[in-house]
């Protein structure tokens, strides 16, 4: 079931090159999206999870959902449980991945590539996810597949600070022979 997240914070973006998770499994694209408590998409995500559970497990869905929630196997999680990461405390988060490269665009819908540097951990995006129920030899869970993301607005980068700007440097075009000047 398709769900659109608007104005959510991006964490752990792996949108342009597939990678293995902890060195295991098939390489995938993916990201984590941080939603403040009270975000309108939370209602839609919960409805989607309930709907796909009913489709997959019928009358057993409520008891299975309760069990997989206790086992932390829902795609939507409480950010307080990831308090060691900046930006998660007091929020919810949803992680999504895909073996196929997601469609990534700028705010004007132009397609982005990794060299653009527009999307980064900490910026805000709109994202399209597909919520689905898994029931196989690996167990039961509710998962999210990432279909695409759109840059929405800048935010504080999670990577430890903003890059330097021209204002951070002095003009040394006219310097003594040793290449240094003393201020």
28 domain-assigned: yes
Residues 6+ apart with CB under 8 A from 20: 26, 27, 28
Task: Tell whether 57 is covered by a domain.
Answer: yes
Domain containing 161 equals: 2-168
181 within a domain of the structure (yes/no):
no
Decide if 177 is inside a domain: no
Question: Looking at the domain assignment, is residue 180 inside a domain?
Answer: no
Q: Is residue 158 part of a domain?
A: yes
Q: Which of 75-79, 120-124, 158-162 has the lowest mean pLDDT?
A: 158-162
Say what percent of the chain tops pLDDT 70. Answer: 90
Total count of domains within the chain? 1
CATH of the domain at 20: 2.40.50.140
Cβ atoms of 97 and 29 closer than 8 Å = yes
- Assigned domain for 112 exists: yes
183 has pLDDT over 80:
no
Q: Is residue 78 part of a domain?
A: yes
pLDDT in tens, 28-72: 999 999 999 999 999 999 999 999 999 999 999 999 999 999 999
Statement: residue 174 has pLDDT above 90: no
Q: In this predicted structure, which of 37-41, 76-80, 82-86, 90-94 has the lowest mean pLDDT?
A: 82-86
> Is the Cα torsion angle 55, 61, 65, 67 positive or negative in sign?
negative
């Amino acid at each position: 079931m398709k769900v659109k997240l608007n104005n959510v914070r991006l964490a752990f973006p792996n949108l342009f090159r597939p990678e293995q998770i902890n060195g295991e499994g098939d390489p995938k694209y993916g990201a984590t999206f941080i939603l403040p408590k009270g975000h309108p998409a939370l209602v839609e995500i919960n409805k989607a999870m309930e709907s796909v559970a009913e489709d997959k497990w019928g009358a057993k869905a409520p008891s299975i959902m309760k069990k997989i929630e206790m086992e932390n196997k829902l795609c939507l999680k409480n950010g307080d449980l990831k308090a060691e990461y900046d930006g998660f405390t007091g929020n919810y988060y949803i992680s999504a991945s895909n073996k196929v490269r997601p469609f990534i665009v700028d705010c004007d819908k132009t397609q982005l590539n990794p060299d653009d540097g527009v999307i980064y951990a900490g910026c805000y995006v709109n994202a399209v996810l597909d919520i689905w129920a898994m029931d196989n030899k690996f167990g039961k869970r509710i998962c999210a597949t990432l279909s695409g993301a759109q840059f929405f607005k800048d935010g504080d980068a999670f990577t430890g600070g903003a890059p330097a700007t021209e204002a951070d440097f002095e003009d040394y075009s006219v310097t003594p022979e040793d290449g240094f000047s003393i201020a």
